[in-house]
Structure formats: structure tokens, C-alpha cells
Amino acid sequence: MATSLRLGPLLRYVDESSATVWVEASRPCTAEVRCAGGARGTARTFQIAGHHYAIVPVAGLAPGTAEAYEVLLDGTPVWPLPDSSFPPSVIRTSDPEVVRVTFGSCRWAAPPVGERDRVGLGPDALDTLAAGLAADPDAERPDVLLLLGDQVYADETSATIRDRIAARRGLAHPPNGQVADYEEYTWLYRESWLDPEVRWLLSTVPSCMIFDDHDIIDDWNTSASWLADMRATSWWRERLLSGLMSYWVHQHLGNLSPAQLAEDPLYAAVRRTPDGTDVLRAYAAQADADPSSVRWSYRRDFGRVRVVMLDTRAARVLDEGGRSMLDPAEAEWLRQQALGARDTCDHLLIGTSLPWLLPHLVHDAEAWSAALCRGERGERWARYGERLRRLADLEHWAAFPESFQALAELVAEAGTGPGAPASVCLLSGDVHHAYIAEPEWPGGGPDARVLQLTCSPVHNSVPLAIRLGFRLGWSGPGRALGRRIARHGRGVLPGLDWRRTGGPWFGNQLMTLTLRGRSASLRVLRARPDGTGSAHLTTVEQAHLTDP
């Protein structure tokens, strides 16, 4: 029986002369990528839980070129698909003069069971982007897709996934219709990445990814008491380990450069054994026992544009006496990457799935809840604060006040001085609307323009209640209410202010940053039905952010 391509290819890392391509095959084999210009690469598959994967490094590419490529398994061509209606997949090596970054988060591949707003779900922004690029191969395309979390939903599964779960183990026992183990996680990735438009898009546009909560479970690592409750269940440990294992295989490996892959001890250990399942499971268990021992965050440089992608879920310190969004080692790593952008980068982009700057009412409610949980108003209020924190998802940067302030100070330091970048942009998702917010420091801010750019969802439900809530959160009355709430908590007020300078925008959408020298511009693109059964991306906002 011939070896078949089960999933992929995904074009992941690309620089001026090299690339990586990720695939899943039906059995052990040698995966090969051949480019039209002669560049090529091969890799032997590795095995995890009965599945066979390869990430193929491709060397010898010419700078500033676009080469069509094919994928072969044991010498047999498997990509492009023989009946494909899409243009050839290409590897475009980076052009350091212009960098286009498209980003967003929160994508349902299919509506979950019980979703009440299916009629208003609307077209998928990634599908729509893919269709537009396929129809016009000469159109401007992203140099990289930054997917900022919730690539899959382990806790909100579609009817198709639930049917498979029911046939495999039934739905009567926890976690019921949610995914339980590694095998079921693979179903989520297949459902998401075998979508024809998305499959072609990810084969031809490089991508960087980071997890958020739904990749594991809603409100992942909200608090120490939340984690204790989860660890007391019969199913949590398998869910977490499987989630981390599948994330490493499907998302994290592709974030690494060929040089980093060659030096990665876990990747080497997995490949040394016929079956790397136990090795990877031990690594995931270590990450659970000591989150500071594993770094999921990473950095990518595109010419003079630096992208720092932050893990704001697994790296948390949850003790109420010293809560922090990042553990000390992670915080120091971020500091080194941010300050290292001075004198070397024109733009610093910090990808953090959770927004740093939120609507004022939401920020103050989170800070209030954090103060209550610390015991500022006594034990009874602390219990109430914890219930509220879980019920209302109050676990963004504002719920870690010291981390919020530390990030503000780091951003100001990185953006100040003669070697400062022209812009420092925090790219986020999660909150199911899009907006631009700009901080204002007392006494004057940094030399760089600092912006919070939030874009969510790519494809998800945004009920009316959420829209009304966020509009209130950004309003003057909402701000006044938030200040009163914050004073009750006796917490420390933020050391800076901010204002919304764009949005809020609702719907399935993407943002694109175009960075040319020290110039930066932004487009907000929403997927809208075109009346013919298809959809297109429309520009709802276009803004010039920095001058050359």
C-alpha cells in the first residue's frame, strides 16, 4: 500500500534562504520537499501515538524568490493533490524591505454542538483570505500568518467530533463530549487543517502559532484554586498532557528555525526512538510539574522586524501572594528579546494571545477581582472574587497587576532612546472583537509609537450580549463604573492611561500590518458574504501608524 499524506503540508518557517514544511503521513517514510528551482530537503518521519510526522528543512533557496514546490513520500508525489483547483503551493523567501504580517485568533473549524448563534456565525476569515489569494495569485499576500491562539477547541467540539467520541468511548463520563487524549486531539487538527481553503493557505503562507486557553480548556490556569480543582478530576491530567504533546507536534515544532530544530534535544530524542510517545509524554509531564522548565515562547526576526511570541498560559505563576503572567525566567527572556530590538529593529511586535490593554471597565473589573482574591477585603470577598473571576473570564494581564505594570515599563524602556524602534505593537486576540488602543504615560511616553492591536475572532460566534458588553466597557459611563469598582478593591491603579483609537469592530476578521523601513500601516479586514454563496474580505479600517 502506498504511503499517503494524511495532513499538511504546512509551510512554517521561512527566511531568506531556508524553510521548513510540516507533514503527517499514513506510515513511516521519508518525506521530501522539491522546489522548482532545485532547492530540496528530506526528513524521516517520527512516530507519536501511532501517527507519523515529519518537519522537512529546505535549504538552498534564493533570497526574494517564489518557488513552487511538491511533496513526496518515499519518492511518490503526494502534493499538490492531482485534482486540486488551487494554484501551486510556493515558498516565497523573505524580502527584508517590506514585511506583511496578518494576524488573528479564535477559529472554530465548525460550530460546536449547542452553539446558539449559528445563523450569525458568518464566513471564516481564513477561508476567505485563501479564496481571494487563490483567485488572484499576483495579489499582495502575507509574509507570515500569526495565529494567536485557539487554533483548536478541545472543550467546544463539533457534531462530527462528538459522533466520533460517542463511537469510541461514549459521552456519559467526563470529559463527555470534550476531547480526552492525544488521538482525539488529532481529530481536531484534521477537522481544522483539512478544510480545503485553509489547507492550501497554510501550504503556501508561512505561519507562526501560539496556544491560548481553548487549545487546552477554557480559562486554562485562571488561578491556583482553579488548577487545584482541575487536578482533582479523573480526566484532567490526560487532557493536559495530550494537549501539550499535540501542541508540540502540530504547532510548536514549526515555530523553530532549521538551526533550532537541529539543536533541540527533545526533537533529537523523539527521532532517536522508533516511537517517541513516552519521551514526549515525559516532557509534557515535566512542563506540568514545573512550568518554568519549559519555554513555549519564541522569537522570529523578519529583516528589521522582530516578532516575540509569548506564552501567557503555561508560564503563569498562580500563587495569590505572587501572581504573575510570566515566571521569572520567562520575564527575563522577554526583557532580553525586547531590549535586543533596540539599534537592530525598526519594529517590535509582541504577540500575546491575551490583550495587554482592555476596555477600561473590563480592566478595572479584573484588577478588582485580583485584589479581592488577594484578600484585600477579607476572606468572604476573596471567595466571591474567585467565583467572579471564573464566571466572567477575568484572567488577562489586568488580573496580574504587577505583570501589567512590568510590561508597561518594559515597553517604555524598549521604545525609548536613539536606537528605539519606530513602533512597539502588542498583537492580541481572545476577546472576540477588534480594536486599536494607545497608551499614554504621565509626563510623556517613549519615542516609539506604542499600540495595542487586538483582532478576534477569525471564525467564531459574537452574540449580541458580548457586543453590548464591550461597547459599554469602552464607553465613558463604563470607565466611570470601572473606577468605582477598582476603588472598592483597594488595589493599585495602573501607572498609565490609554484610549481607544480604532474600533470596536465585530465579526470574523483579520488585521494586516505592512512594515516598510520605519513606516507602518494597518488594515482591518472583515469577511462578509457577497450574496453569491461566497465571501470576500472588506477593509473596515485603514490607518497609517508611523512615518518613514
Place of cell 476603588: 487
Beta bridge partners of 43: 31
Cα torsion at 211, 214, 220, 222 (round to 10°)?
Answer: 110
Structure confidence by residue, pLDDT tens digits, 243-289: 999 999 999 999 999 999 999 999 999 999 999 999 999 999 999 99
Would you call 431 helix, strand, or coil by DSSP?
Answer: coil
pLDDT at position 55 is: 98
Integer-rounded Cα Rg, in Å, for the chain is 23
pLDDT of residue 120: 66
Question: Which tens digits make up the pLDDT trace of 398-430?
Answer: 999 999 999 999 999 999 999 999 999 999 999
Q: Dmax over Cα atoms in the chain, in whole Å?
A: 71
Tell me what pLDDT residue 401 has.
95
Which of 150, 177, 225, 232 lies closest to 390 in space, CA to CA?
225
Q: Residue 373's beta-bridge partner residues? A: none
List, for residues 43-99, the tens digit of each pLDDT value: 999 999 999 999 999 999 999 999 999 999 999 999 999 999 999 999 999 877 899
Report pLDDT digits (tens) over 362-391: 999 999 999 999 998 999 999 999 999 999
- 162-165, Cβ contacts within 8 angstroms, sequence gap of 24 or more: 162/113
The whole-angstrom separation of Cα 41 and Cα 233 is: 45
Task: Count other Cβ atoms within 10 Å, centred on residue 409.
Answer: 13
211-228 burial, b at 16+ Cβ within 10 Å, e below that, comes to bbbbbbbbbbbbbbbbbe
Give the three-class secondary structure for 59.
Answer: strand
The pLDDT value given to residue 115: 67
Say if strands 144-147 and 207-209 run parallel, antiparallel, or are unpaired: parallel
* Residue range 149-173, pLDDT digits in tens: 999 999 999 999 999 999 999 999 9
H, E, C per residue of 452-477: EEECCCCECCCCHHHHHHHHHHHCHH
pLDDT for the residue 264: 98
Per-residue model confidence (pLDDT) at position 462: 84
> Does residue 119 register a pLDDT over 80?
no
pLDDT score at 490 = 78
Q: Contact 173/192 with Cβ under 8 angstroms?
A: no
Which pTM was predicted?
Answer: 0.96
Task: State the cell numbers at 513.
Answer: 500590518
Q: Could you tell me if 362 and 398 are in contact, meaning their C-beta atoms sit under 8 angstroms apart?
A: yes
Distances (CA, A) of 514 to 270, 467, 521, 523: 38, 28, 5, 8
> For 484-490, what is the mean pLDDT?
85
H helix or E strand, kind and range, residue 190 = helix 182-193
Domain extent listing, the chain:
95-546
Class of CATH domain 95-546: alpha beta
33 - beta bridge partners?
A: 41, 71
Residues composing the chain: 548
Strands 76-79, 509-516: pairing is unpaired
Cell of 266: 527533545
- pLDDT of amino acid 114: 76
* 116, 355, 458, 544 from 465: Cα distances, Å: 13, 20, 19, 32
Q: How high is the pLDDT of residue 258?
A: 97
pLDDT for 116 beyond 80: no
Average pLDDT, the chain: 95
Please tell me the predicted confidence (pLDDT) of residue 492. Answer: 72
